[in-house]
C-alpha cells in the first residue's frame, strides 16, 4: 500500500480531517476518504484517528496508508448528461460541470466523464485494452467547469493529442481572484513542480520543475462580502497541473474558493468551489485541420459572485 505524508498548514487549523484530506487528495471523493479514515488508514501525529470530523491542527503530520485499489477492467458505462457544444463523427466538445472528475481514479470509479462516454459511445470500450482513457485528450480539475474536447475515434485522439502537445491549442479561462492586480495585463513565467512538503500539490519551484507560462487580462473588479475581487481572463501557453491556480496564488491573487492553494485567503461565504472556468478553446480539427473555436457560457454560481460583486463585463 502506498504511504502518503502531509503536514497541516496554519490555514487548515481546526478543519475536519476528512475536509483536510479532500484538499490534499483532490481526486478522491469525500465518501472514499471518510471510509479509509473509519478503516484505520489515517494517522495524525502517529496516532490512528477514525473520526472524520476530528479537527486537525497546524504542524500536525497526517499519514495516509492508501489501500491498493484496482480499477475495473472496463469502467461502468453510465448515462450521459452533459451539455454538448459541438459534435461530429470524429470529436465532441462538452461543457463540463464543476464537481465532475474527467476519468476514473482511486476513490472515483464512477460518475466521471469517461463513464458517461462509455454509456453514449459503447465502441470506445473496444480501445480499453490499449488505452485506459479512450477519448480523453486533456483534462480539467474536478471543480473547474467549461470546455472539454473529446475524441470519438483512435485517429482523432492521436491528432488532437498532437495538437495539445505541439501547443496548437489556445485556451482562455475566466477566474475570479481575491485582490486587484496593479497592472491590467501581465504574464508570469516560472517552473512548476511538486510541492516540497505536500507531494499531492504543485508549487512554483527554482529547479526540478517544468516551464509554465500564464498571462492574464483584468476584466473588472468589485467587492464581495467585504473583500476586493477581480475577474480575469487567463491564457496558458503550457498545460501544467493546476497551473492557473498555482500561478495566481504565486502572484498574490488566489482563485476565490481555492482552499488548496489559496488557504484562508481564498475562503468566501457562499463560494463552494474554485471559481475557474474553461471559457474558450481553439484548435485545428483532427480531420481536415480547419480552425475550430468554442465557448462555454459562464455557470450560475460564477455569475452570482459577479453580480454580488458589482462586476460588469462582456463575457
**Catalytic positions, please?**
141
CA 22 to chain centre: 13
DSSP string, 148-205: EEEESSHHHHHHHHHHHHTT--EEEEEEEEES--SSSEEEEEEEEEE-SS-TTSEEEE
Task: Give CA separation, 293 vs 87, 156, 284, in Å.
Answer: 13, 17, 9
Task: Identify whether the C-beta of residue 193 lies closer than 8 Å to the C-beta of residue 281.
Answer: no
Cell of 286: 483532427
Contact (CB, 8 A) for 38 and 52 = yes
With cell 470500450, the residue in question is 125
Phi, psi (rounded to 5 degrees) for 54? -55, 125
Amino acid at each position: 500500500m502506498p504511504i502518503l505524508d502531509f503536514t497541516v498548514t496554519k490555514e487548515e487549523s481546526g478543519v475536519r480531517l476528512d475536509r483536510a484530506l479532500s484538499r490534499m487528495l483532490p481526486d478522491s471523493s469525500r465518501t472514499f476518504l471518510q471510509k479509509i479514515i473509519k478503516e484505520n488508514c489515517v494517522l495524525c501525529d502517529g496516532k490512528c484517528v477514525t473520526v472524520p470530523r476530528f479537527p486537525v491542527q497546524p504542524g500536525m503530520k497526517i499519514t495516509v496508508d492508501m489501500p491498493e485499489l484496482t480499477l475495473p477492467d472496463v469502467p461502468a458505462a453510465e448515462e450521459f448528461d452533459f451539455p454538448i457544444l459541438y459534435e461530429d463523427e470524429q470529436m465532441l466538445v462538452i461543457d463540463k460541470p464543476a464537481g465532475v472528475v474527467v476519468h476514473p481514479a482511486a476513490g472515483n470509479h464512477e460518475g466521471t466523464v469517461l463513464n458517461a462516454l462509455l454509456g453514449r459511445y459503447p465502441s470506445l470500450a473496444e480501445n480499453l485494452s490499449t488505452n485506459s482513457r479512450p477519448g480523453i485528450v486533456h483534462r480539467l480539475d474536478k471543480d473547474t467547469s467549461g470546455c472539454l474536447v473529446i475524441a470519438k475515434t483512435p485517429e482523432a485522439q492521436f491528432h488532437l493529442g498532437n495538437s495539445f502537445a505541439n501547443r496548437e491549442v489556445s485556451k482562455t479561462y475566466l477566474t475570479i481572484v481575491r485582490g486587484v492586480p496593479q497592472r491590467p495585463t501581465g504574464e508570469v513565467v516560472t517552473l512548476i513542480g511538486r510541492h516540497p512538503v505536500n507531494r499531492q500539490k504543485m508549487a512554483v519551484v527554482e529547479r526540478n520543475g517544468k516551464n509554465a507560462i500564464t498571462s492574464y487580462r483584468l476584466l473588472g473588479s468589485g467587492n464581495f462580502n467585504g473583500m476586493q475581487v477581480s475577474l480575469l481572463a487567463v491564457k496558458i501557453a503550457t498545460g501544467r497541473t493546476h497551473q492557473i491556480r498555482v500561478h495566481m496564488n504565486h502572484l498574490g491573487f488566489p482563485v476565490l474558493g481555492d482552499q488548496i492553494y489559496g488557504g484562508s485567503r481564498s475562503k468566501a461565504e457562499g463560494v463552494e468551489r474554485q471559481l475557474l472556468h474553461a471559457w474558450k478553446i481553439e484548435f485545428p480539427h483532427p480531420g481536415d485541420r480547419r480552425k475550430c473555436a468554442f465557448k462555454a457560457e459562464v455557470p450560475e454560481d460564477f455569475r452570482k459572485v459577479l453580480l454580488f460583486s458589482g462586476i460588469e463585463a462582456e463575457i
